[in-house]
Structure 1
Amino acid sequence: MISAQVWADAQLLWNFQQMGDEPRPCSVAVVLGSHDLGVADTTADLYLRGMFPLIVFSGATSRTTQERMPRGEAEHYRERAVELGVPGQAILVEPKARNTGENIRFSRALLEEQRVPVSSVLLVSKPYEERRSYATARKLWPDVEWVCASTSMTLPEYIDSIGDARLVLDMMVGAQQRLMIYPRQGFIIEQRIPADIVAAFERLRDQGFTSRLVPETADRA
């Protein structure tokens, strides 16, 4: 049973980890692969609304996706987007990235290789990954404008869509830890983190939502 305090702390992190950007037309979309196929659905919707002419789906597999997405996250995202009406020629697949830093670096390299002019990027991710993805992108590719987007859902709706509350809360706690430790490791830009967010993170960590934490000497973003 998840206590009321845990739900309240999770809601604080959920709200903080989203950037609150209004989607607007950009040169390209860079989409971060994950276990959540809903990210591909949101990307397809944004494409069909005219928000960008080209999509880069980025992602290999992880311990969470190796069974459900055996062909790689980016490829499964591509297949889903095509099912939803996105033309194949509007999609590039970057199949090697295994963390957020690689998502950004490898997507940038692919776009440069394809000679795609980029002045702005709509960065599409899971809702609770918006802020960390933005911080990583700003660090690694600072000379373009970044706009964040994700599926518009409440935390309970999102948990229902995934079907595993502990997985979602563990991942949110892991994302928050990275926002706190990665700036000093040089992986992401520094952002102000309010005291109530730090306290919520610490309570959730102490309650055992720790499976996605990384050692503070981690060398990846």
Structure 2
Amino acid sequence: MTDEVSAKDLHNARTIWDYHLMNHRLEPVDVGIGLGSHDLGVATFTAKLYHEQFFPMIVFTGASSRTTAARFPRGEAVHYREHAIELGVPSSAIRVETNATNTGQNLTFTRDLLASADIPVKTVLLIAKPYMERRAYATCQKVWPEVQAICASEPIGFDDYLAGIGDTKLVLDMLVGDLQRVMEYPALGFAVQQDIPTEVESSYDRLVAAGYTSRLMTA
């Protein structure tokens, strides 16, 4: 952790972290969808779930963003695929979607990829960063309502996640940014509405006031 992050900031961030987790019960589905990001743990956990036979096919989706271009120069989905193969997933079980630059595109382009391959899909498991679960679910409900979606992420605690990423401020910035999108995307037509407890909104306001704003959308 960095010295500039106060205990109060961490408390507020933990409140938002807990809210983002959907706590869905895992069950077998038709396809596992690994949503691209800076977090290679998504690919690791997707591979684990594949080996545990939660799905017979994986789609990794994602181009690059300003936070991932240096780490994943060939694109998030391509690097995720390579990592999953290193973990023993056969290449034949993986498809990649390499154009998406936001969550709506992740899901829309994945839907279209599977449809063009005549692969019927009724159920999907969305695998994401822990603090992206709720936004992924709300987005899928909007852009791909025909499927039954459940969400999962690497089962890791908040403190361990911060230590693994190694940049506490970045994680807090992204926690705040994801919550802003959960709050604002429904009015923009990008996602379905989610109930947001007052405590979560208050934590968001306090972190914005404290300067965790680098991932906020601007008008």
* Pairwise TM-score range, normalised by the shorter structure: over 0.9
Aligned to 1:41: 44
TM-score of the superposition, structure 1-length normalised?
0.96
2:68 maps to which of 44, 65, 68: 65
1:87 maps to which of 79, 85, 90: 90
What letter matches 2:59 in structure 1?
V
3-state SS of 1:115 partner: coil
Aligned to 1:128: 131
Q: Distance in 1 between matches of 2:200 and 2:23?
A: 17
Residue segments in structure 1 that go unaligned for 5+ positions in a row: none
Aligned to 1:159: 162
Aligned to 1:12: 15
Q: Distance in 2 between matches of 1:131 and 1:123?
A: 10
2:55 maps to which of 52, 56, 69: 52
Matched, 1:187 2:190: yes
Aligned to 1:197: 200
Cα RMSD of the aligned pairs, angstroms, is 0.7
Matched, 1:206 2:209: yes
Structure 1 residue 22, shift from structure 2 partner: 1.9
2:152 maps to which of 145, 149, 159: 149
The CA deviation string for residues 94-137 of structure 1, in whole angstroms up to 9 with x for no partner, is 00000001000000000001111111000000000000010000
Q: Distance in 1 between matches of 2:127 and 2:117?
A: 20
Q: Which moved more, 1:29-38 or 1:123-132?
A: 29-38
3-state SS of 1:201 partner: helix
3-state SS of 1:198 partner: helix
Structure 1 residue 30, shift from structure 2 partner: 1.2
Q: Distance in 2 between matches of 1:111 and 1:117?
A: 7
Q: Structure 1 runs of 4+ off > 4 angstroms? A: none
Q: Distance in 1 between matches of 2:180 and 2:168?
A: 18
TM-score of the superposition, structure 2-length normalised?
0.97
2:30 maps to which of 27, 32, 40: 27
Q: Distance in 2 between matches of 1:80 and 1:114?
A: 24
Structure 1 residue 3, shift from structure 2 partner: 1.6
Aligned to 1:112: 115
Q: Distance in 2 between matches of 1:64 and 1:3?
A: 24
Matched, 1:78 2:81: yes
What letter matches 2:78 in structure 1?
E
Structure 1 residue 68, shift from structure 2 partner: 1.1
Q: Distance in 1 between matches of 2:126 and 2:8?
A: 32
Structure 1 residue 4, shift from structure 2 partner: 1.7
3-state SS of 2:53 partner: coil
Structure 1 residue 23, shift from structure 2 partner: 1.5
2:142 maps to which of 139, 143, 160: 139
Q: Distance in 2 between matches of 1:109 and 1:167?
A: 32
Aligned to 1:97: 100
3-state SS of 2:34 partner: strand
Identity %: 50
